Homo-oligomer: A and B are copies of this chain.
Amino acid sequence: MPARPQTSTEAIVTAGRRLLEERGAEALTLRDVADAVGVRAPSLYKRIRNRADLFQLILDDVTEELLAQQEAVARSGDPATGLRRLMSAYRAFAHANPAAFALLYSPQSTPPGSDRLRRLTVILLRLVTELAGAEDALPAARTIVSWANGFIAAELGEGFQLGGDVERAWEYGLGRVLSV
């Protein structure tokens, strides 16, 4: 007589994502996730392979949300305005999901080749190509995304310790990396 399911992969990922933001990656335990979805820790292994796999599923979930947001924002008028809006939305998303952003962005987190990450790049590359031309599109896109990731990481990690106007620094940097 089969036991009825008490949870789902979706519930596990949602609870994991919430706990990730609430307590940070290091403090996220499978026993807490199991508690949150109403089962015991060993039962999680019917739906996830291991702890690393749970993080991967969480990042997939986050990336899907980010992709949908970026696709919606990318429909602007001229490419410069579109890129500004794209980067502002990207920054807002990171502020709303700081722990997930840190994971997504830190070295060795996501296995290379995720389809959603590639589609994020495509959105950016299309706008940058309009702005900078096909010849310079790739290095220009890499400049923009490197700057944005570094800026946001510094913001989230209290890296800007000298005070000053952080919003002005964002606008200033945006002007630099978009002036192709």
- A residues with a Cβ closer than 8 A to B are 24, 98, 102, 105-109, 112-113, 117-118, 121, 136, 138-140, 142-143, 145-151, 153-154, 156-162, 164-165, 168-169, 172-173, 176-177, 179-180
* Complex contact A176–B107 (CB within 8 A): no
The answer to whether residues A139 and B106 also contact, given A118-B161, A150-B153 and a CB cut-off of 8 A, is no
Q: Which 10 A-B pairs have the closest CB atoms?
A: A150-B150, A107-B157, A146-B150, A139-B172, A143-B173, A149-B150, A146-B151, A139-B169, A147-B147, A142-B169
Given contacts A173-B146, A176-B179, contact A102 B106 (CB under 8 A): yes
CA distance A98 to B176 in the complex (A): 27
Contact partner, A149, options B118, B154, B176, Cβ 8 Å:
B154
Given the known interface contacts A153-B106, A177-B176, the answer about A112 and B146 at a Cβ–Cβ threshold of 8 Å is: no
Q: Mind listing 16 A-B residue pairs with CB under 8 Å?
A: A107-B153, A107-B159, A113-B161, A121-B162, A136-B172, A138-B164, A138-B169, A139-B169, A139-B172, A145-B154, A146-B150, A146-B151, A146-B154, A149-B150, A149-B154, A176-B179
List of B residues within 8 angstroms of A165 by Cβ? 139
